Amino acid sequence: MLMNRNLSNLPLVGVFLGIAEHAYELAIESATATQKKGKPNNSERSGIQHMIGEMQISLATARAMVETMGHKADECLAEFQGQQVPMERAHELLKDHQSMKWVVNRTAIEIVNRAMDVVGGSGFMEKNTLSRLYRDVRAGPFMQPFSPTEAREYIGKVSLGIYPED
């Protein structure tokens, strides 16, 4: 059961990474869009360059965490090959999963926020895809298996060697 929580929730975190990636693409598109005659596009502005750079760094961090967690899950599955994963090992894996989820969800929110800064007020308009991404990304921290408050408690318990029974 616990191992299933690890595996079934890994793709869900990928959804929020995908939201961040799409927001980044929209920010790039907006920054490089042709402006009115005689005005350079926003990609020439140092503030925009800085935000795009921060978004790229954040995406690299989130991608690395998802990749690492995928490798850990694969290694565990290969080691136990269909056998019951010991409870302590499953809790350690779920702790790592929750830590990854925490970082990816928070990073996705930051990236979408920066994309809104790059795009400007039009990003809030209902017809703009970024407005939906902005709303959707906020749900990430509350998705299963743990809410933010529960995640911190769980991560702390398992880090201290306290393994919940359920």
Residue 48 — very low, low, confident or very high, per pLDDT cuts 50/70/90?
Answer: very high
Residue 39 has pLDDT above 90, yes or no: no
Q: Give the H/E segment covering residue 92.
A: helix 87-119
pTM: 0.87
The Cα–Cα gap between 1 and 9 comes to 12
For domain 2-29+44-159, which CATH number applies: 1.10.10.10, 3.90.180.10, 1.10.1760.20, 1.20.140.10?
1.20.140.10
| Three-state SS at 33 | coil
User: Which segment, 11-20, 30-39, 139-148, is predicted with the most confidence on average?
Assistant: 11-20
